[in-house]
Amino acid sequence: MNLRFSPNRSFGRHYLYDNVVLDSLILRIGVENPVKSKVSILFLAICLTLMNAVPAPAHAAANGHTKALWVWDFYEAAANSDKITELLQFLNEQDINLLFIGTRKTLPDQPATYEELIRRAHEHGIRVFALVGRANWALEGHHREALEEVRQVLSFNTSHPSSKFDGIQYDIEPHTLPEYKTKRGSVCYQYIQVLKKIANEIALSGDNLEFNAAIPFWLATGENPVIVETGGEKKPLSYFVLDIVDTVTIMAYRDTAERQIRATQAEIDYAANIGKKIYIGAETNAPNGDTIPSEITYYNKGLDYMNQQLDAVTSYYSNHSGFSGVAIHNYPAFKAMAESN
């Protein structure tokens, strides 16, 4: 079975894709791990970073890399000027220089408020990405809904040329769908298709909007990596995502730098090889049973500890061309951590 991608036109860094010819698609869950661990180098890098991290609020943004924050609830965080002021103050205090702000169902009704947020954020040197996502957008019957989101952002940018969104992040997680359990190959194929449609929409617009996708960390190197076999070549699903989008945010939700690095090494190496960039995500929401086990969140570890670990991640990848920075999920929990600190 062969899955062929055929880029035929380019607009800046975006590609227009032909329709994918699906001779067939095999999705196999295996135990192969294409990345050899770098135990000694990794351990040394982390130890040296932590030894020099006293005190430890030295943030990733301070050394030229991105430090992003997810803010899903627009109304809670930025619905008026006072909330925008509070949000921007927090971003500055935490050295955040990239904001993922929720726009689904809110952007059409609040263009003036988004304009104020983006304008003021840009004055502080903070980039702003629209943030959208639903798992069922992976399915072909819902592709139109996914496309409507990017069209709204592109329309906003056309109407507000001096306060434009810098990018858009799609958080589509097809592995959470019931269909994924029984029709993985079909679901992943449809997911790849919607990403290509979004990339095409941006390319046709001529807008320099950065297309970012959030993905789980285990697609390439988890215990059961998701491997697509194409014409005798095996390739993790995450690599196909990187081929299409501009940047990827890996939800590397673990509570140590070493585990976050191990979870992202494969994709960052691949990104570097094709000229793409990756942000490494960290979780701060409170543990919640099986949904958020304690080992995937920094919530109970404290702000200083989290900053030390994220600094270690940044130090390890500081000269890696596939690394762009870190991202923290999400605003209410991170704010609570900072206040309790």
Neighbours of 85 (CB within 10 A): 12
Indicate if the pLDDT at residue 155 is higher than 80: yes
Mean pLDDT in residue range 93-99:
98
Pick from 25, 20, 34: nearest CA to 231? 25
Closest CA to 200 of 21, 18, 20: 18
Tell me, what's the pLDDT at 230?
54
Percent of the chain with pLDDT over 70: 80
Residue 8 has pLDDT above 70, yes or no: no
What's the whole-number mean pLDDT along residues 211-217? 98
Long-range contacts of the stretch 40-46 (C-beta < 8 A, 24+): 42/258, 42/261, 42/262, 42/316, 43/258, 45/312, 45/315, 45/316, 46/257, 46/258, 46/261, 46/312, 46/315, 46/316
Residues 65 and 326: beta-carbon distance below 8 Å = yes
Q: Above 90 in pLDDT, residue 91?
A: yes
| Confidence band for 290, pLDDT divided at 50, 70 and 90 | confident
Question: What is the pLDDT, as a whole number, of residue 62?
Answer: 60
Measured CA to CA, the distance from residue 148 to residue 163 in angstroms comes to 20
Sequence-distant (≥ 6) Cβ neighbours of residue 340 within 8 angstroms:
302, 303
Q: Global pTM? A: 0.84
- Domain annotation for the chain: domains and CATH numbers: 3-340 (3.20.20.80)
Q: Are 261 and 269 in contact (CB under 8 A)?
A: no
C-alpha 253 chain-centroid distance: 12
Supply the mean pLDDT for the chain.
86
Q: To 10 degrees, what angle do helices 111-123 and 81-93 make? A: 30
- What does the pLDDT look like over 236-281, one tens digit per residue? 999 999 999 999 999 999 999 999 999 999 999 999 999 999 999 9
Binned at pLDDT 50, 70 and 90, residue 48 comes out as very low
pLDDT tens, 53-83?
Answer: 433 333 346 668 999 999 999 999 999 999 9
Q: What mean pLDDT do residues 307-320 have?
A: 98
User: What was the pLDDT predicted at 1?
Assistant: 36
DSSP state of 79: S
Report the alpha-carbon distance of residue 129 to residue 171 in Å, rounded: 12
Tokens 């807008």 locate to 207
Question: Phi/psi of residue 199, each to 5°?
Answer: -60, -40
- State the Cα–Cα distance between residues 209 and 200, nearest whole angstrom: 12
